[in-house]
Structure formats: structure tokens, C-alpha cells
Structure 1
């Protein structure tokens, strides 16, 4: 078990390593991009990554306060579901609306890799490959469909 400070140092080391590795990869438009803090350009629409002591996760999260707009954004993604699946080998979980840990209603599309831990440095290669592959594919998908989300800016 790690102290809070040790755990934070390990997390920081991982994210710095991941960020440096991903700097070598350009976006689907051939531009430099901050993969760790991906900007969709759409308010309340985020591409997130999360790693715990049990899993790694990548997700699209829609957090608009107006639930009817949140639903419209989610439905817009559903319109592109076939195209979305063409970018990924694994089946992502689509959740129209649910309450997060803070009770906030969000919509998400997510993929989780179970059985890996940020605290096992031997898992980092697996985690980095999982995140890299899916972020690059997500960026390609987003480049193809983002114009359809302009109305939500």
C-alpha cells in the first residue's frame, strides 16, 4: 500500500511518461495535440482517460447541465454509431444518462481495460498501448464527425 503522497508521485510519473510518449504522435489532421488533455472544442463534451489500481478507462463524457441538450448530443453520437464501431476493435459501453459519484447526470461512451494497475509499472506498457490506440482512433473518428457537433459550441 502506498501513502497518499507516494500514490500521487506514481500517478504524476505515469502521466508525464504517457504525455512525452504521445508527443511523438500527431493528430489525424497532422498537428501537435495535447493527448492527455484532449480538447474537443465543444462545451461540456470531453474525451477522458482514467487509470486506477484495477483498470484503465477511456471515455467520451457529455456533461451539459441542460439534460435535453445532453440527450441531443448523445443522440448525435448514436447517429454515427456504425462509423464509430469501424474505428475500434472492442465494443464500447453506451450509457444515455446516469448519475456519477457526485450525483451529476452524465452521458458516456466508454471502454475499460480490466486487470491493470497504475501502481504496477510492469502494466504501464499495456496501459499506454490501450490509451494510445484508442485515443488515436477516437481522434480520427472525431475529425470525421466534429462538424456535426458545431451547433453545440
Structure 2
């Protein structure tokens, strides 16, 4: 069993390692970017990467407090579903009004890698190999579609 401090340190170490691994990779506009803390630049639209015990995930999270606005954003993303799938090269799970780990209502478009554990260093290469191409693809997709979300 790990203490709370040990768990926090292992998770922090993973994200530092991921950030260092991704540091030489520019974003779609050729600029340096802090990949682990990706900023979409649009309020209430987040790109979330998680590495936990049992799974890793990456996704788009729509976190507006108004469920109707979440649904509006979700519908906008549905209009772009083929473009998103083309950028990612795979189908992701779409969940309107799901609960996040804090019990808040959010809408998610995500991909999950099961059966990995961030606490096991031997799983880190699998997790990084899962996250890297997807966050790069999301960035390229977002570079093309972000202007359509800037009026909200």
C-alpha cells in the first residue's frame, strides 16, 4: 500500500516524465506547448488526460454548468464527428451529461485504455504511447475547428 504522499509523488513523476517526453513536439502551429496542461483557449472546453490505477484516458470534456449549453457544444462537436474521427483515426465514446470524479455533470468525448496502472512504472511506456498520438491529433483537430467555438 502506498501513502497518499507516495501516490501523489508517483502521479506527479508520471506527468513530469510525459511532459519531458512531449517537450520537443510542437503544436499544430509549430509553437512550444505544455502538453500535460493543454489549454483549449475556450471557456468550459477541456482536453483531459488521465492516468489512474486500472486505466488511462484522453478526451474532450465540456464542463459548462448549464446542461443546455453543454448539449449545444455537444451538438456542435457531433457536426464535426467525421472530421474528429478522421483526425484521430478511431472512434471515441460520446457521453452526454455524464458524472465526473467530483460528481459534476459534464459531457465527454473520450477514449479509454484499460488494464494499465500509473503506479506501475513498467506501464508508463504504454500509457505515454496511448496519450501521445491522441493529444497531437486533438491539437491538430482543434487548430482547424476552434474558430467555430470562439463566439460562445
TM-score normalised over the length of structure 1 = 0.95
Matches within 5 A, 1:4-153: 4-152=4-152
Distance 2:103 2:123 in 1: 32
Shift of 1:98: 2.0
- Partners of 1:100 and 1:13 lie apart in 2 by 24
User: 1:112-148 CA deviation, whole Å, 9 max, x = no partner?
Assistant: 0011110111111111111111000000110111011
Counterpart position of 1:3: 3
Secondary structure of the corresponding residue to residue 116 of structure 2: coil
Moved more, 91-100 or 76-85: 91-100
Runs of 4+ off more than 4 Å:
none
- Quote the Cα distance in structure 1 between the aligned partners of 2:134 and 2:113: 11
Aligned length: 152
Moved more, 82-91 or 39-48: 82-91
Cα distance in 1, alignment partners of residues 150 and 56 from structure 2: 30
Gaps of 5+ in 2: none
- TM-score, structure 2 normalization: 0.95
